[in-house]
Structure 1
Amino acid sequence: MTIADTQSLDASTSGRRPAVLTVEDLSVVYEVEDPVTAVRNATFTLAPGEILGLAGESGCGKTTLAYAINRLHRPPARISSGSVTFHDRDGSDVDVLSLGDEAMRRFRWDKLSMVFQGAMNALNPVTTIRAQLDDTLRAHRPHMKRKERLERSADVLRRVGVDPNRLSSYPHELSGGMRQRVMIAMAMLLEPQLMIMDEPTTALDVVVQRDILREIVRLRDELSFAVIFITHDLPLLLEISDRIAVMLQGEIVELAPAAQIYAEARHPYTQKLLGSFPSLSGERGAFIRTGIDEQRRAQ
């Protein structure tokens, strides 16, 4: 599938609804001794309330793309070309890449929030959950009174299935699943229109993963925010995503509805991703033998 095909498919699929985010020809370069283009000409739109899955192997540029959209990248990373436009509910368009530092600080969490991969690293280990949620509210909602901030903090914890009594806890006193839920609560604290989730279920057991995924879908349905969900787990994305973008070596090589990706993936890399998960009902050892046979043929 060519990049032109990808863009055409994206336009025909998402054009039915107004977009909340438009990314056009976005490229990110790491300015090291031998410069590396980590993201190349990424183009897609995101509709309100849509879950867009972003899949690909480690190092393909998924997180770099997410950080570029949110302007969180640091040197030597540099956006070399392209645009990121946020379409607000009030009808205005925001050129994210041209925002000044203060405007960008106000934009983050209020309009676009992010759930980072490692909740223990994202949360302040020496500050209570209450203080961290309260800091966000005081920074972005200075008119709110202390009681209102406490009620809002308790409410978002309740929404993600965490007892509000945990507001007085420190991150190390919570389980991995609870810390991830707190990060999701913090991301939805200001009711943003778009949430980027960078492998939010990594390192969690499958039962906790399932619970958190259910919470994400439920909250999306309830609050109508859009989601960019990043993971290397394609079967997971097939289950929860409306559309899936597949990245390979910094490029989006395929972008289509999840059902279409599953039924008739067009790019060879997407087909290999789908074929990399053994069937639960197939012949025992068939998956391993197929891989060995392909290696022998290649030799």
Structure 2
Amino acid sequence: MNTAMDARPPRHEADPVLTIEDFSVDYLGANTTHAVKNVSLTLGRGEILGLAGESGCGKSTLAYGVTRLLKPPALITSGSATFHSREGFSVDLATLGGADLRAFRWDKISMVFQGAMNSLNPVISIQAQIEDIFTTHRPEMKKAERVERCGDLLERVGVDRSRLKSFPHELSGGMRQRMMIAMAMALDPQVMIMDEPTTALDVVVQREILDEITRLRSELGFAVIFITHDLPLLLEISDRIAVMKAGEIVELNDAYQLYTNPRDEYTKRLLASFPSLTGKRGDFIRTGIADDRLTETDQEVVAS
């Protein structure tokens, strides 16, 4: 056994690319909602970190807060998010504003938004929408170079470059999702935040998109924060998984350890709610064996 290799610190400690510390977000109003509560996370360079939890638990709010995309009445009440560039410098994202923040987004950290299939402008061609990224962030690029780069991006995500002239309504859901991923990686970002990128896609297309994300991560070395309520999906692609409930991280662990030895009761309930592909109705995990982590009442409800 190579003890020296075993003694190496985990990637997120040895080579972090994003550090989130004590991060909190409130939605102000007659009744203030504490949407994100004192969240601390570290993302390793090249790591896929899954962020799981039920709808409304604060996953997207955390992502929008880190990237400074929140609008009133949302308010960041505490904490910090620090980006550690591969070039050797670190940036506290709270210090960025105006042109600096605009230049940072998409270049260092990009995002595939929830409902990405509706994020494309329906009256502008795919080529024009991708070119706009280069026109804004790489104004020195010549027209021919931009067009060539747009075609290369499409081919990288498995779409023929002839589709550059297409409009969004001429593409399938899976192709539009691939377009959004291509646009997100146009400037070779070091972090990509994917907010439920496979929502509303059928299971076959979901598998294709997940395979593309895994392949591209291996080829290009970017880190991913993958947000979804689908914990089984995260178990397949993530290095580590953070489970979020009511604005808080209740468990954070290696994906395999979280699956085989969950510590928090909420995580156990999420795992126990897996639908079975085989076995009797009311069986909850992939083995087809009823899971005793659910109460009898839970099993009766799901089976009914």
Tell me if both proteins adopt one fold, taking TM over 0.5 as the criterion: yes
AA aligned opposite 1:262: Y
- What is the root-mean-square deviation in Å for CA atoms of aligned residues? 1.8
- The equivalences for 1:26-175 within 5 A come to 26-175=23-172
Partner of 1:213: 210
- Is the CA contact 1:14–1:45 (under 8 Å) kept in the aligned structure 2? no
How far did 1:15 drift? Answer: 5.0
- Where 2:192 maps in the other structure, the secondary structure is strand
Percent identical: 64
The 2-side partners of 1:292 and 1:92 are apart by 50
Structure 2 equivalent of residue 239 of structure 1: 236
Q: Which has the higher contact order (CA 8 A, sep 6+)?
A: 1
- As a proportion of its length, which structure holds more helix? 1
Name the structure 1 match of 2:185: 188
Unmatched runs of 5 consecutive residues or more in structure 2: 1-8, 285-289
Aligned pair count reads 286
Tell me the residue number matched to 1:278.
Answer: 275
Matched AA of 1:106: A
Q: Deviations over 1:251-288 (max 9, x none)?
A: 01100000000110100000000000133344443459
Amino acid at match of 1:252: I
More divergent stretch after superposition (59-68 vs 277-286): 277-286
Listed one character per residue, the Cα deviations across residues 219-260 of structure 1 (whole Å, up to 9, x for unaligned) are 000000000000000000000000000000000110000000
Any conservation in 1 of the 2:276–2:283 contact (CA below 8 Å)? no
Q: Which residue number in structure 2 is paired with residue 293 of structure 1?
A: 296
Letter of the 1:234 counterpart: L
How many Å apart are 1:117 and its aligned residue? Answer: 1.8
SS at 1:44's partner residue?
A: strand
User: Would you say 1:179 and 2:176 are equivalent positions?
Assistant: yes
Residues 125, 222 of structure 1: alpha-carbon distance in 2 compared, 3 angstrom cutoff: same
Q: Secondary structure at the match of 1:65?
A: helix
For residues 117-159 of structure 1, the C-alpha deviation after alignment (integer angstroms, 9 at most, x for no partner) is 2123211111111001111101000111011111111001000
How far apart, CA to CA, are the structure 2 residues paired with 1:209 and 1:277?
17
Return the TM-score normalized by structure 2: 0.90
Instruction: Give the counterpart letter for 1:232 in structure 2.
Output: H
1:226-265 correspondence to structure 2 within 5 Å: 226-265=223-262
Given the superposition, is the C-alpha separation of residues 16 and 31 from structure 1 closer, same or farther in structure 2, using an over 3 Å criterion?
A: closer
Aligned to 1:266: 263
Distance in 1 (CA, whole Å) between partners of 2:16 and 2:291 is 45
Give the alignment's TM-score, normalised by structure 1: 0.92
How many Å apart are 1:57 and its aligned residue? 0.1
Deviations 1:78-105 (A, max 9, x none): 1111000000111100111110121110
1:28–1:77 contact (8 Å) kept in structure 2: yes
